Amino acid sequence: MEVGEFMPEIMVKKGEPIDRALKRLKSKLDAEGLMDEVRRLRAFETPTQRSRRKAKNNAKRAKMKIRFNFNPVS
């Protein structure tokens, strides 16, 4: 493993149903983008697909930057 990389984990509470613990694990994996990375690496990605994915990620990042850094002048 690279420095700074770790496997997400959850602690199953006493008496907690397994399906609820799995749901928490899945939501944690989705929040970290790990499942998207696994799906992306599963098959070959063409240069066109790569550029589309990067453009989509950049657009999303720009949208979030505008949304959270918007300071209206009063």
- Does residue 12 fall inside a structural domain? no
Please name the residues in contact with 44: beta carbons below 8 A apart, sequence gap of 6 or more: none
Q: Which domain holds residue 29?
A: 18-69
pLDDT by residue (tens digit) across 14-58?
A: 999 999 999 999 999 888 888 888 888 888 989 999 999 999 999
Q: What is the pTM of this model?
A: 0.51
Least confident segment among 1-5, 14-18, 36-40, 67-71: 1-5
Kindly state whether residue 5 falls inside one of the protein's structural domains. Answer: no
Q: Is 40 part of any domain?
A: yes
What pLDDT sits at residue 67?
82
Whether 2 maps to a domain, the answer reads no
**Residue 42 covered by a domain:** yes
Would the CA dihedral through 43, 49, 51, 54 be positive or negative?
A: negative
- Is residue 6 a part of any domain in this protein? no
Domain count of the chain?
Answer: 1
Which band of pLDDT confidence, cut at 50, 70 and 90, is reported for residue 12?
A: very high
In the block, residue with structure tokens 């690279």: 2
| Residue 3, domain member (yes or no) | no
